[in-house]
Each structure stands twice: as structure tokens, then as C-alpha cells.
Structure 1
Amino acid sequence: MKVQGTLDAAADRIMTAGKNGNLGSIVINPESRRLLVYWKGEPPSDVRRIANSMSSDLKAEILPAKHSRLELLSSLDVTVKQLAKVGINVTEAAPLSDSSGISVSVLGDLDLAARITSASHPEIPAQIKVGVANSLTREIASSDENFIAPQKTTRIADVPLYWGGALYTYPNPTSVCSTGFGIKQNGLRRMLTAGHCGEDGYVISMPDQSDGVGYVPVGTMSAKDKEHDTILINMPAGDRMYTGGVLSGSSSKVTGAFGTYVGDYVCTSGANSGQHCAGRVSAVDVSMQIQSVQLHGMAVAYGLDDGPMLKSGDSGGPVMQFGLTGVIAKGTITGGGGMLVQCWKNAPSKDCFNKLVFPPITDTLDRYGATLLIENSG
């Protein structure tokens, strides 16, 4: 993952320099050690300087883009709204990775969707496809009041400072989701998780470690961002996240965050199915409807060789990549779709999704005016 991290870092610098200009898109290819930058028109000198500063064993190419990222996002916004007016469910709409147009997957009348899309922005080509429904991945919890918590710190029995990838219930206890990443906002420690896992003011609970029976409240939700499926939990969050399986007590320190780009490899680590590696990002800047919730600015990844990425109850958990000394945050789990597959080898049933949907962490931190809690960050 060292090569991907280096490419992502350069991509982040180019994104910062060009996101309000004529940048089209950025594609990562760790195998060929290449960074592809699509740009409409002549790129500015600072973008060329970043591209030319890559080490000799890596290569950044600047390629012509037919449309800018901002033009494509504007087209997507209009298209999704127009399709919604006639009752067409957009399951995934995103810019093409080379910025030549947009791709729109729908449940409904394809011909009508094509006509509306073409009329919305005739200058931007659109690929209209048959969509597959996505699912939000919270889960109904057991209502057994005599739940016995394991007397050991694990994903399903976390203690302060709370780590990402741990189980929590809301309200107490009817549904299960997972903690994401610890952040600091206005000088206070908070935890990121999925917005569909609750509402502002909800109290979340975790298994009681004091006597091993039942649940105890540990934090309150606030600042829900429905459009991007994030919410904060006001709780003493830490700078680590759980790795490994469902009952795992192993963890890794969080060392930083990178943006998310087409071609990136990602892992997940939700509380209900554990760690899954790896998936690959197929689209970014995605708009979609999931169970009547309209989302924007999402990323989509698929498990390699139809492998698992998540299951119900993993919502809110970490999306990350492994670095040299810890994990790099990439996002928080929103939901899944695609194929139902085994969560692990020889699992008795197929109840994991191979498609992952998540909001990129760098965008989330910007929206909340927050910083990631990393080792020695205080």
C-alpha cells in the first residue's frame, strides 16, 4: 500500500489545486505506479509542478478531459432531480473516470431516463444502465435484556477511549451499527458514524463491562448530515480502530487520511462482520437513492473476485487502507449492494454485500470543520 499512499498524497495536492477549476478527474493505478490526471484545457503551472515532482519510479500523466469535474457534477445534480420528479429511482449516478460524460443507473423506464438526461444537459454524453437496488446496513439488535458482555475489550464490548469498528446500539438496544473514526471538533473528542444510524439527540449504548449484563449509555448523537450519511457521537473517542474478525480485540493506530480516487484499494472493518480486504474504488462523486434517502458525494467500491465488503450492522464502521505504521482513513460505511456473498470462507450463508458505498473521509472532515484523531494528536 506504500505506492498507493504516495499516489494518493500527490492526488490530494492536485485536487486541492484544481477542484475549483478545470480539473476533470483523477485515477490511481498502483500496479503500474501511475497517477492519471484528466484536465480540461491547459493545466496551471502548480498542477504541472506537482505532477513533475513525482519520484523517478512513479509517473503522473496529465491527459485531456472533455468536461470539468464541476460541469459533470452540475449535470448530475440536475439529472437526478429531474428523474426523481417522474419517480425514477437513481441507484448510482457518477462522472465517468475519464471525464468524458456521466453514467446513470436507474430502476424504471430506461428510455424515459435517457430522454430526460439528454434534455437536462445535451452537451454531456450519458450512459443509461439498469440499476441494482442498494441497502443501508444497520441491523436490528437482540432485545434480550440479559445479554452477557465478554469481560475483555473487543469490538462488541468497547471501553473508553472508544475505538473505530466497535458495536453500538441505538436507541437502547433496538438497532446495531458500528463506530467509525475518532475526530476532534471545537476541541472536543467525537466519533464519526453513519447518519442513517440515528438522529440528533439519540443516546447510543454499548455492552456494560462493569457487570457483564445489559447495555450502558456512552454518548449522544448530533450534527446529522443526511445528504452525505454522517453523524457525530459525542463520546470520548480514541485514535485507534479494531482490526480482524467479529470478536477481535486487535487494533491498529490511525495515522492519517487520504482522499478517495478511482482505482484505490480499500478495506472495511465493521463490527458485525469484521475486517474485509480488499475492494477497489470504481466511482467517486456518486449520487444515489438508497431506501428513499437521497445521497451525494459518495464513493463506490467492489470486493475483488466478488469478495465480501460488509453486512448489515457494519454501517458507520471504518473504510481504510493499511499504511506502513497503521491505517489510513478513507471513509465510513454507508451501505452495500450488488451480490450477496459469504462473509468469510465456509460461512453457512451468503449475507455480505460485495458492493460498498461510503462518504470519503476528507470531505467529511471538511464539512464538520474537524480533524482526525491520530497518535499523539491529543
Structure 2
Amino acid sequence: MALGVALAMVSVVSVGAAQAVAAPAPSPVKDAVTRAVEPADEVPGGFSSWKDLLATQEKLVKAADRVTAAVKTQDAAGFAGIIAAPENRELRVYWKGDTPERISDLVGRLRRDVPVSILPAAYSARELESEMNRLVRASGDAITSIAPNADGSGLTISSAGHGPNRSKVADSAVPVTVEAGVTPAPASRWDDTAPWLGGAAWRNAGTGRACSTGFAVTAGGASWMLSAAHCGTIGQTAVDPTGQVIGPIAHANTSRDVMLIRAGTAGRVYNNNPGTISPEFSNPVAGTSASYVGMWLCTSGASSGTICLCQVKMINVTVYLADSVLHNLVLLENSTRRNAAGQGDSGGPVETPEPSSTTRQYAVGVISLIDTSAQVPCTGYVINGRICSWRLYYSPWSNATTAFPGIAITTG
């Protein structure tokens, strides 16, 4: 399903030339050390370790993938949404009306491995999508974001101002929750070398804009680096902060906010956290993961460093910018209300650790936008002179495969 968002843009999350900052002193040798990626904070849900939470989450995501695949291939008019709830150790599937026999049979099989609940929904995903699109057309610029509730209960709408015009949505055919003061806006390390890794800094040689590398991929028998399309245009050149050429921007899809830089790459991502930017370390990429409401993820932008304790709140968000429309984004929030991403992190990895050791990462997407109304102090390599936020939007892996058919993740 597709969501509509009309956004009042305040600033670009990628750091422009006017905000250029000095790169940290480069390491004399490229660090290939692998270390665990686990936050020091208390583990949600009473789990004894982050590995235990991630192992439960991985099982729920695999079960959710099977339900999602079945919904796409079978009659799913009543399907409303899915919530992965690792803290509660269960997967929740929401359905309006009677559940088709084939879906019920699938859930019965899945219950052999994980707890799955089929719960009633007031509205289907199709009904919410239709009403959402109607409200966006009727509201003008009063709405900054709109998304369906994953439980099928209605819509959640945000407004940039603190006095949202409720009359614009008063005639909604479904329940609407209005949140005021939400302003999404487009969102190293700093001396990487070939083969280029994810989570490193790069600059647009033509504009000076600073962004982050995402994940190494292959397509058409060639090697590429995935990043965010708003960081540049086809034909421009990506360089690292020291001026070393990474490669040309060869493919870009602005509606999905993904681009491909032609470069020699390796299937690893930098993952040192904001408090320990030296020494640096990187982790191998294990594969890819879909996005579901309730998942716990990490971001790893070049400017902010690796930040975990971030949870998916909404999926399938469409963003209306002044000069483009972005489709199928995901809303992610840092549960501690500390920095999740900021300027210079655009295009950087959104990932989830493989649970057995947390030293391997699944690629989930790349950082796209931040909510500038949720500003917090920045962390990482560049603390001053940037805008950072505890709420962000990212472009999921499915956007890359939709934009670039045949693309495949490079594992390490």
C-alpha cells in the first residue's frame, strides 16, 4: 500500500558545501577488525541479552515474510497489517473480516515455531490507502505526513504547526489521530579506500554535499555502492573527504531515494558507535531484511556513527517534497530520544545485527530524511554545525530492488 505525505522541508540532511567540516585525521591503515554491535542500554522486553532479543526478532521477521508473500499472491482484501513485537515474543497479523483458509493454514504452520496471532481490524489496508489518498488531495499543505496504523484502526496524521487544521480531516471516513509539530526533512568513515565499505563518508565533487555510503551491491555483473538519490545526480562524481575518487553516480531513482555509484566495493559496513569513533571497525554484511512495524534496528551514518535502539513505527510512507515525491519510506525512532541520524548521514546504512554473534549485519535500507522538529544533540564524528534528530525516515531494501531490478547485496 502507498501512503501520502505533504512535507514542509526545512533543511537538507546531507551537509552542503556551506556546512563543510574538517575530516578527522585518517587512520594509517584501513581497519578490517570485526566487533559486536550491541547497545549498552537495557534490553527491551526483559531479555537477558541483545542476542536473545535479536534471535526472537529474526524468527518473527521470517514468519512475517511468509505472511507477506502469501498476501501478495492470494486474495487478501481483508489484510490490514503486521506488527512484529519481539518484546512480547509474538507476531501480530491484523485482518478485517474472515481470514481466508489458506492464510489460516499458513499461520497454523508458523505457530509451530513462533507465536502468531490473527487479530481483528476495523479497516483493511486497501480501505486505509484509499482514504489516505483522498485526505492528502483535500488537505493541501496542512498535512506533513500520513500513515495507516499497522493494526488497521485508522490513520495517523502529522502537521508541522502546533495548531493543526483539524477541519481538513474532520470528514474522514476512518478514525484519525493528529500529531502536531512534526517536520520531516532530507537527512564517514572519513578516509576510506577501495574496496569501498558502507557507512563511510563521501562528497559530491560538483556540489560539495556530504553524504554516507550505504551497502555494496552487484548488478549486471558490476560492483556498485548504494546510497541516497537526493545526494546527487547522474554524471556527478563521488569522492571521499580527502578528494580520492570513489566513482561516478551512474543510476538514480529519485522517487525511491536510492542511487548507485560505480565503484569497487566490499560487503562490509563501518559500525563503531558514537562514543568510540577510534579505533574504527567494520562488520561483514550477512544478507538483507524486510521492514516491519515493531522491529529494532541500528543506523550507521558516517557523521553520527552506529546507533541502535531504533524501532520501526510506520511503513509504506510516501513523502511529497517541493520538487519530487518519495515512495515507500519507513519511519524509524530512537526509543531513548537521543540522536538517530543527522546531516551527513543520508545514504548511510540501516541494519540489524545477525543474532548469533551480532558481528554480521543484515541490510535493511539507507537513511533518507530526518524530522527536524525532533532535534537532539548530534553524536559521532561531527557534533557541531549539524542538525540531528531522534526520528528519521529510511528507504528500505525493497526500494533498491524495485528501482534497480536484478540488484543483489554483496555479502562479506
> Tell me, what secondary structure is at the counterpart of 2:127?
helix
Q: Which residue of 1 aligns with 2:290?
A: 259
Q: Deviations over 1:255-287 (max 9, x none)?
A: 121211111111100111110011111111223
Matches of 1:306 and 1:111 in 2, distance apart?
23
Q: Which residue of 2 aligns with 1:150?
A: none
Q: Which residue of 2 aligns with 1:295?
A: 326
Matched, 1:191 2:191: no
**Offset at residue 172 of structure 1 (A):** 4.7
Contact 2:238/2:248 (<8 A) preserved: yes
TM-score (norm 2): 0.77
Amino acid at match of 2:177: Q
Contact 2:238/2:246 (<8 A) preserved: yes
> Tell me, what secondary structure is at the counterpart of 2:123?
coil
Contact 2:256/2:399 (<8 A) preserved: no
Q: Deviations over 1:15-48 (max 9, x none)?
A: 1211472321000110121000011233334432
Q: Which residue of 2 aligns with 1:143?
A: none
**Offset at residue 196 of structure 1 (A):** 1.1
Contact 2:234/2:251 (<8 A) preserved: yes
**Offset at residue 203 of structure 1 (A):** 1.0
Structure 2 residue runs without a partner (length 5+): 1-53
When residues 14 and 363 of structure 1 are mapped into structure 2, their CA distance, relative to the original with a 3 A threshold, is farther
* Deviating more after overlay: 195-204 vs 43-52: 43-52
Q: Which residue of 2 aligns with 1:341?
A: 376
Matched, 1:69 2:97: no
Amino acid at match of 1:191: M
Which among 322, 325, 336 is matched to residue 305 of structure 1? 336
Aligned sequence identity (%): 28
**Offset at residue 116 of structure 1 (A):** 4.1
> Tell me, what secondary structure is at the counterpart of 2:307?
strand
Q: Which residue of 2 aligns with 1:280?
A: 311
Matches of 2:235 and 2:383 in 1, distance apart?
38
Matches of 2:278 and 2:258 in 1, distance apart?
25
Q: Which residue of 2 aligns with 1:158?
A: 192
Contact 1:73/1:95 (<8 A) preserved: yes
Q: Which residue of 1 aligns with 2:70?
A: 17
* Deviating more after overlay: 275-284 vs 101-110: 101-110
When residues 367 and 109 of structure 1 are mapped into structure 2, their CA distance, relative to the original with a 3 A threshold, is same
**Offset at residue 106 of structure 1 (A):** 1.9
**Offset at residue 351 of structure 1 (A):** 4.6
Matches of 2:285 and 2:156 in 1, distance apart?
34
Matched, 1:355 2:391: yes
Contact 2:217/2:226 (<8 A) preserved: yes
Q: Deviations over 1:193-213 (max 9, x none)?
A: 111111122111124xxxxxx
Matches of 1:348 and 1:318 in 2, distance apart?
19
Matches of 2:374 and 2:161 in 1, distance apart?
20
Q: Which residue of 2 aligns with 1:82?
A: 138
Q: Which residue of 1 aligns with 2:183?
A: 133
Q: Deviations over 1:161-215 (max 9, x none)?
A: 21110110002571110011122222222221111111122111124xxxxxx41
Contact 2:162/2:180 (<8 A) preserved: no
**Offset at residue 66 of structure 1 (A):** 2.3
Matches of 2:163 and 2:391 in 1, distance apart?
23
Contact 1:310/1:352 (<8 A) preserved: yes
Q: Deviations over 1:226-264 (max 9, x none)?
A: 222222212222211111044553111111212111111
| Aligned alpha-carbon RMSD (Å) | 2.6
Q: Which residue of 1 aligns with 2:45?
A: none
Contact 1:256/1:372 (<8 A) preserved: no
> Tell me, what secondary structure is at the counterpart of 2:374?
strand
Higher relative contact order (CA 8 A, sep 6+): 2
Which among 185, 201, 204 is matched to residue 170 of structure 1? 204
Q: Which residue of 2 aligns with 1:123?
A: 173
Contact 2:182/2:374 (<8 A) preserved: no
Contact 1:118/1:125 (<8 A) preserved: no
Contact 2:290/2:364 (<8 A) preserved: yes
Matches of 2:129 and 2:297 in 1, distance apart?
24
Amino acid at match of 1:224: A
Contact 2:305/2:379 (<8 A) preserved: no
Q: Which residue of 1 aligns with 2:247?
A: 219
When residues 368 and 61 of structure 1 are mapped into structure 2, their CA distance, relative to the original with a 3 A threshold, is same
Q: Deviations over 1:46-73 (max 9, x none)?
A: 4323322336573000112222223322
When residues 219 and 194 of structure 1 are mapped into structure 2, their CA distance, relative to the original with a 3 A threshold, is same
Amino acid at match of 1:260: S
Matches of 2:383 and 2:181 in 1, distance apart?
28
Superposed counterparts of 1:98-109, under 5 Å: 98-107=151-160
Amino acid at match of 1:239: G
